[in-house]
Structure formats: C-alpha cells, structure tokens
Amino acid sequence: MADTGFSSGCQVVVEQLDDTNWEVRRQFSYTGQAGVPFVVYEGMDTDFASVPRVFAWFLPRYGAYTKAAIVHDLLWREYASAGKMSYLDADGVFRRAMRELEVPFLKRWIMWAAVRWGALVKPGGRKGWLREAWRVLLVTAVALPILAPPALVIVVALLAFLAVEAVLWVPLRLAAAIKARRHQPAKQVNAPGFEWKLG
C-alpha cells in the first residue's frame, strides 16, 4: 500500500497577497487513501480556512488544520471545479487530512459539515450530496445549539460597531472635505467597511 499523509518535512510557507489571500512559497503534498499525491505547488493562492466572521471565535482561519485547509483549497479550485474529482471526495480528503493533523473529532466533523454545506452553491457541488446528507444534518444539529447563540451576539455587536464607526466617520469626512476645499493639508479618512467572511 502506498504511503499516505503529508510529504516529509512539510511546512507552510506563505506570502500575504491582500487581506484574505496568501501565496504558497514552498511546495508540499498530501497523499490520500487512493495513493494519489495532491501537490500544493509554489505560487498557489490560498485563503486558509474560509470562515464567516461570526464563527471566527470558534474556528480561526488557521490552526492545527492549516495544511488540510490549503490542500482543500487546491482540491476545490483545481480538481473538483474542473471535474477531476467530486466535491464530496475533496471534502472527504479534507476530513481525513485533519484527522492526521490531530484535529479533535468534533471540530473536524463540524468543518467537514461546513464545507459540505458550501458545496451546495458550487456548480456540480450537489452531486452525491444526499449520500452524506444524514451525517451533515447530524453534525449540524449537534453544532448549531452551541455555535448559534454566540454567533447571534457577534452579529449584533458587529452591526453596532459598524453603525458607531459610520457615525464617527461622517464628521471626519466632512472636516477633510472642508480642508481640501481650502487647500489645507488633510489626513486621509478611510470609510468604514464590513465583511461577513474572513477568508
């Protein structure tokens, strides 16, 4: 049987491209159960784990699962989207890789269920979805009562912060505009922004 798992000496070396994307600067690979190596090549883009902001307290964008998340980016973007493998299989590789990285049982199954839900909006992502639907629904039923209440509080807090930031921004922007009309130097005033997703 072929060796499975991450390549020997595998390290995550990346360079930041923008607020959410990074470029892989050192190649590594992951070999799945079928013995096929998936090569994360130098120059590949990744956003690590794509986590909505409201759940970042529970699942940061990177952690013990970072290597698995990068491999999952590769599988979704270059294999599943091109029809070279199913999204279902890509997500299965993700879950197995997290197990090998010693990500705790419930956390890796929650992450797996999240990407299974995400596959529904991908072209071809619904294929085979029903086969694992019972597991997705079971994990979701376990996770939702734990994760939803704090997420709701965070949504309210983020919206409140955005409102306060907008109220403070208006007079600062007006002052900068007045100074500009008078040809006086003015500091840059950045508009408030809001993103639901961290990755």
Residue 14 carries which side chain, given as an amino acid letter?
Answer: V
Asked, for residue 197, whether it belongs to a domain, the answer is no
pLDDT at 36: 86
187 found inside a domain = no
Helices 87-100 + 105-119 axis angle, to 10: 160
Judge whether 155 lies within some domain: no
The whole-number pLDDT of residue 177 equals: 84
What are the average pLDDT values for consecutive 10-residue runs of the chain, which has 199 residues?
79 94 97 90 95 91 95 97 95 96 97 96 93 97 97 93 91 85 83 67
Whole-Å CA distances, 108 to 19, 49, 152 = 25, 12, 22
> Does 181 fall in a domain?
no
| Strand partners for 23 | 15, 45
The number of distinct structural domains making up the chain is: 1
Residue 182 belongs to some domain of the structure: no
Domain assignment of residue 127, given as a range: 5-145
**What pLDDT score was predicted for residue 29?**
96
**Strand spans (E) along the chain:** 5-6, 14-16, 22-24, 28-31, 37-40, 45-46
pLDDT at 89: 96
Among 42, 45, 33, 98, CA closest to 69: 98
